[in-house]
Structures are given as structure tokens and as C-alpha cells.
Amino acid sequence: MHDITIKINGTEHKATVESRLLLVHLIREQLAMTGTHIGCDTTSCGACTVLIDGKSAKSCTILAVQADGKEITTVEGIATAEGLHPIQEGFKENHALQCGFCTPGMMLRAIELLEKNNNPSEDEIRWGISGNLCRCTGYNNIVKAIQYAGAKLRGEETPSTEPEFV
């Protein structure tokens, strides 16, 4: 057993964990933050994506002990008292989700993408989210949501929302 301390969404958490406990299980089962989803357990889908010290990571492949001393952001931590994060607003305005299973991981991946480049091309967006699978939307509205969030982060007028329904 190992004693660890991690900061999740700005709150410090102390936990005693087994060496083999995955970060996703710590987040969901011990800390009851169920926005981080478990999809495949093989790093294929990205539903478990979180930000660790600002970098997106699939929490199904990281041991909880490896997160000791790290700062983690889950989907529960991206909105503020002022309102939705621009990526959440973009997903809402562009109808970029259907079942919602991939959405938390997709949004967190998009946040890192936009922090590196807040004006990515469509190809850069598609490449940037290629490790996160969505089985419902066909990605077109997800790309539009990320473009919307990028414009909002740049302080520009957000693109009109003409969602594509598949």
C-alpha cells in the first residue's frame, strides 16, 4: 500500500492505494468523480482522458501511484463560477454529443489542443483528437465545437452554429 497526495480540480486528496490501482479507478471509485469514463481499458478509446499537469493522458494506463504529487483536471473541474468552459459551450452550441460517453475525454483532449494552438485547422483538430473515439457523431460537430471554443478563447466572435445531424 502507498500513501499518495494528488490535487484534483484544485482540491488536495490523500489516499492509500495498492500499487496496481489505476488512476481511473481512484478517480471514479474512491473519489466518486464519475465524469471520467472507463471505455476500453486498452488506451484505444480515450473516454478516460484527464489532464495531468496540463497534459492530456488516458487514466486507464496510469497507476495512481504515478500521479502522486500531480495536479489533475477532470471534466468536473473545467467549468467555473462564471459559467461553462468555452469547450463545454462549444459542445453545447454545436450539438457535438449524442450519447455523451466520449464527451468528457474529448473535451479535455481539446482543451490541451487549444492551449497549444487556439486556432487549429480542421486537419489539426482531427489529428489532435484522433486518440479519442466517438461512435455517435461522425466528428463533424466535434470539430465545429473545437473551432467555436478556439474562437471564444481568442476573443473573436464565435462561428455560427449550423450543426450537422447524422
State the CATH number of the domain containing residue 28.
3.10.20.30
Contact of 39 with 47, CB cutoff 8 Å: yes
Check pLDDT > 80 for residue 165: no
Whole-number mean pLDDT of the chain?
91
Q: What is the pLDDT of residue 43?
A: 81
What range does the domain containing 42 cover? 2-77
Contact of 145 with 90, CB cutoff 8 Å: yes
Same domain? For 7 and 72 the reply is yes
Number of domains in the chain: 2
Q: What is the pLDDT of residue 62?
A: 94
Report d(CA 10, CA 17) in Å as an integer: 20
Average pLDDT, integer, range 31-42: 88
Report d(CA 160, CA 58) in Å as an integer: 32
CATH of the domain at 119: 1.10.150.120
Residues 6 or more apart from 80 whose CB is under 8 A from it? none
Per-residue pLDDT tens digits for 124-147: 999 999 988 888 877 899 999 999
Check pLDDT > 60 for residue 5: yes
Per-residue pLDDT tens digits for 50-77: 999 999 999 999 999 999 999 999 999 9
Q: What is the pLDDT of residue 160?
A: 66
Check pLDDT > 60 for residue 163: no
- CA dihedral of 40, 69, 27, 143, whole degrees rounded to 10: -60
- Domain boundary residue among 55, 77, 99? 77
